Every structure is written in structure tokens, then in C-alpha cells.
Structure 1
Amino acid sequence: MQKNISVIISTYNATEWLKKVIWGYNTQTYRNFEMVIADDGSTQATSDLIEEIRKEVFFPIIHVWHEDNGFQKSQILNKSILSCNTPYILMSDGDCIPRPDFIEQHIKFREEGFFLSGGYHKLPLMLSQNITQDEIYSEKCFDLNWLKSKGMNTSFKNSKVYSKGLISFLLNLVTPTTPSWNGHNASGWKKDILDINGFDERMQYGGQDRELGERLVNFGIKPKQIRYSTVCLHLDHPRGYATPESINKNRNIRKETKEQLKKWTDFGIIKKQ
């Protein structure tokens, strides 16, 4: 059967996290998808992992890689968009384990003229390290009592882990969070992303995903809030690539996008001559 959704997973030298994430996709209730790994210059260890885990999972994996040149996530995401073989794209990260109905919910809510804005639930570092394949395949890692027994604090945010059906629908309605394109959990039509020329490749860490969503909105594509319907567990890790320089540069680019209502970037998939 021809696949009808592509899942882009971004990664960089984080094989232990990526392995857990891929296991999470091997539990999905919706199975008609391909995975495209957007690899921002990882070493051979990531290629070796992908080659080995391909034998285990039911879905095809396309590995898109370029030479390491610092944090260039926007560049590798654009290359990965072009490698997708389906009309619809879901983007997440190599540190986000999806609940088994993750893709199913994106398929359920997708709609022409919209993109979907999901959220995540962040785990503490020790718990992130201790989740095993068995706990992913048994879905124990999405059991709130198990998570608390392993060190997760009590919080209203924990409702993201178990919300389904009417509860998630109501929480999506009342959340004060504005729907945006989130790199860890968002999806949209490939044609819409191409129509705004993908990601702005000048942008490194700090809001490059939000800027893409802002141009989609300027183009007339509406965001749809599914924060409590699509659940993924965000594994903790340090972010040495988050620099004040990149964050400030990106903030200025986003400001320009908002003020000028930009739909297109000259620094995206198609380069300005």
C-alpha cells in the first residue's frame, strides 16, 4: 500500500535517544507511513544504528545526511522535505517518543488549509535515560503511575500523557497556548510547505520552526490546536548549540516575517539567484 504520511525525525549524534524514538514509531496504531531521518551531520554510529534497526521495524526509513557544519537543522529539514514521498508531512525530533496513537491523531485531524500544532511532555534526565525498549513496547512509559514511580513530579501538565477523546478535545479548546509550528510535534501538507519555500536556512537554533509556521499563517494556512491529542515524551538532554547569537539573529528574522507579513523566504529550498 502506498504510504500517505511522511514522518521527519531530526537528529544529531544522539543514538541512544534516536533508538528509543524509532521503537516508539514501531508501536504506532496507524502504520501507513514512512520515516525520513533528517541527520544534521552525525558520525557513523547513527548510520550503523539506522541500518540495524531497519531490520526490526515495519516501516521504511530514509536517511538524509549532510556534512557536519554546526547546527544546520533548517538545511537538513529542507533536504528531508524534498525526500518525502507523500503529500503530508509530520515533523518531530529524535528525542521525542510518540504515544502509539501519535500518527493516528495527526491523520484524524489533518485538513486542507490547516497545519496541526501538537505539544510534548518533558521527562527528567534520569527517567529519560532509564526508559527501555520493553517499557516502550509495553506502553508502560505512558502510564502515569509508572512515570511517577520513576521520579516524574506531580503536575497538571501530566494530563498530556493520558488525555484522550473528549478530555483532550476540551483541553485543546481551553488551553491558553497559541497554536504554532513546533519542531517536536507539528504536521502539514507538503505543497503548503513548498509554497512558502520551506525553512529559512539562515536560522540556526531558536525559533526556526515557529518562523515557518508564521509564514504558513501569512500564506493563509490556519493553525489547529491538537496539543492534548498528540502525545510524545521529550527526553531530556543538554543544548550546547543554543547560543545568544543564534537566538537573537532568529528573533530579528521572525520580527521581519511578522511585520512584513512574509510568506516566502529567499533562503529556503529554492535559493535566490
Structure 2
Amino acid sequence: MDKPLASVIITTYNKPEFLKLVLLSYSLQTVKNFELIIADDGSGDETKQVIEDFKENTNLVINYVWHEDKGFRKTEILNKAIRKTNADYLIFTDGDCIARKDFVETHLSLQKENSALSGGYFKLTQEVSEKITNKVVENQECFNKNWLLSHGQPKSFKLNKLTKHKFKAKFLNTVTPTKATFDGMNVSCWKKDMLAVNGFNEQMQYGGLDREVGERMMNKGVTFLQIRYSAICVHLHHHRPYKNEETLKLNKKIRQNNKKNKTVVTKFGITKYE
């Protein structure tokens, strides 16, 4: 294969059934010249088996990056994954976010120099999440408003996030009050810009670790562009047992210091692996 146009970095941790659906969604993409980097924060053998099975049934290039489970170390596995990428452009997402078939194509078509693209995600309820099967993903029904409503998803304005109309998406991207930020479920940037800030700050725990790297990129002069109604993925419902107030306070302090000092480069990033 030629040099990939993008490296799609998917983070995961012990959700093999979710990952199976997510990987399937990338086998259906309208463009094929990209690689998948699976950043695994210490999952067990079941996840490894899902990846092995997927490798046997796809022509996509897949690089599996894993480290031992020593608690929440998402920033570390992300930095390790970035070092394994072969493309100049990086797309970040999570192993619980199923991508619409035009997801990679959209990120590539909207990319701009010295910019990052801030996408969104549509949250599925637990009831609907449990009804997502391979066939539902293959038929793209999980992105169909009528299918979702008929299977118990509540009606809301947020269903507009699933629009297929480019003009409507562009309009909604423009008028949305939501700021364009680095949200790890759906964001893309140039690899050189990520390396320039030394990647993710490995002091950061759950809660804002992606925003933090984005804020340092902004301090460097990277512009974040809103594409939350253009690059579409749906988020499978799950609980977050790793959330705690102590780490949230620490994370907030780091981000406040970055803002005050206009910090660009973290000392606790990618270069520690060199």
C-alpha cells in the first residue's frame, strides 16, 4: 500500500463487543487508503482475539499497540500509538464510537493546514445500544433517524447530528454555540502539530486529557474548526467507573496553569519514549 492518507487511532479498554462493531464500521469506509492504530490501555485476551479475527477478514492495515493494565493510562497508550503512525494526518476516536461510512473521507476532505477538525458524536441510549448488530452497522441503520426512533431513541434536536445533507451540516457547524475543541472521540489534526506540542500530557487522568492537548495546540497557533454535523459517529452507551473527583481537580489545575503560562510543550509527552 502507498503511504496512508490518514492514521485512525482508536483507543480501547476491555470492551471487545463494542470494538467489534467499531472495527466493522471502518471496513465499510468510502475511502480505503488509511491505517488503523488500535491503542489498547491493557485489555485482556478477548480484545486481542477480536483484533486477530478482524485482521483475517479485512485488507485494512492494522497496527495493535498494547501495554499492561496498570490503571488508567490512556495518555500513555495514545503517545505510544502516535509513534507508530505512518500518515501525516491523524484521526482520533474511541472504541465505543461507530463511524458512518463517510467518516474518514469527511475528515480528509475538510483538512486544512495549521488547523484541527473538531467533530462530535451522537449518544445512543442503553436500550438502543443493545440493539446494534453487525447487520445494523452494515446497513448504516444506526445513523438513520427513523430506525433509531423506532427502536426507542428519544426524539431531540441532537438527531440533526446525523444529517446527510452537506449544506445543512455546514450551516449547523457555523451556528452551533459549541466551541471547537479537541474531543478524543472525533477529532483530527496534522501529525506535525501533535509532535510540536509533544503529544498528550501523561500527568493527565480521566477528564479533560484530550482538551488539554488541544489547548496547547491552540497556544501554538493551531485553529480548531467545527465539523460536529459533518463527521458522524454514534456513541454506544456505557458507565464510567474510573471517574473520580481527585483526578478531575488535578487535571483542572494543569489546564489552568497551561492557560496562565500559554504552555505549548508538555515535559510529560512523546519524547520520553525516544
Partner of 1:71: helix, strand, or coil? coil
Residue 205 of structure 2 corresponds to 204
Residue 8 of structure 1 corresponds to 9
The percent of aligned pairs where both chains have the same amino acid is 47
Unaligned runs of 5+ in 1: none
Cα distance, 1:58 vs. partner?
2.8
Report the AA paired with residue 31 of structure 1: K
Contact 1:4-1:88 at 8 Å conserved across structures: yes
Residue 251 of structure 1 corresponds to 252
Cα distance, 1:44 vs. partner?
1.1
Cα distance, 1:57 vs. partner?
2.3
Judge which range, 263-272 or 36-45, deviates more.
263-272
Residue 158 of structure 2 corresponds to 157
Cα distance, 1:48 vs. partner?
1.0
Report the AA paired with residue 127 of structure 1: V
Partner of 1:152: helix, strand, or coil? coil
| Matches for 1:255-266 after TM superposition, within 5 Å | 255-266=256-267
Report the AA paired with residue 227 of structure 1: R
Structure-2 separation of matches of 1:164 and 1:69 = 44
Structure-2 separation of matches of 1:172 and 1:99 = 18
Residue 238 of structure 1 corresponds to 239
Residue 269 of structure 2 corresponds to 268
Judge which range, 33-42 or 133-142, deviates more.
133-142
Cα distance, 1:249 vs. partner?
0.8
Report the AA paired with residue 219 of structure 1: K
Partner of 1:230: helix, strand, or coil? coil
- String of CA shifts for 1:116-142, please: whole Å, max 9, x gaps: 100000000121121000010011111
| Matches for 1:121-136 after TM superposition, within 5 Å | 121-136=122-137
Structure-1 separation of matches of 2:47 and 2:140 = 25
TM norm structure 1: 0.98
Contact 1:71-1:241 at 8 Å conserved across structures: yes
Report the AA paired with residue 75 of structure 1: E
Cα distance, 1:30 vs. partner?
1.4
Cα distance, 1:232 vs. partner?
0.3
Cα distance, 1:272 vs. partner?
11
Partner of 1:271: helix, strand, or coil? helix
Relative to structure 1, is the Cα distance of residues 272 and 13 closer, same or farther in structure 2, using a 3 angstrom cutoff? closer
4+ long deviations beyond 6 Å: none
Residue 142 of structure 2 corresponds to 141
Report the AA paired with residue 87 of structure 1: D
Structure-1 separation of matches of 2:22 and 2:247 = 27
- String of CA shifts for 1:66-113, please: whole Å, max 9, x gaps: 010111000000000000011110000000000111011100111110
Residue 173 of structure 2 corresponds to 172
Cα distance, 1:53 vs. partner?
1.0
TM norm structure 2: 0.98
User: RMSD in angstroms over aligned alpha carbons?
Assistant: 1.2
Aligned residues: 273
Residue 43 of structure 2 corresponds to 42
Contact 1:164-1:228 at 8 Å conserved across structures: no
Residue 98 of structure 1 corresponds to 99
Judge which range, 105-114 or 52-61, deviates more.
52-61
Report the AA paired with residue 237 of structure 1: H
Cα distance, 1:271 vs. partner?
3.2
Structure-1 separation of matches of 2:138 and 2:121 = 19
Residue 84 of structure 1 corresponds to 85
Structure-2 separation of matches of 1:164 and 1:78 = 35
Partner of 2:170: helix, strand, or coil? helix
Cα distance, 1:244 vs. partner?
0.8
Cα distance, 1:245 vs. partner?
1.2
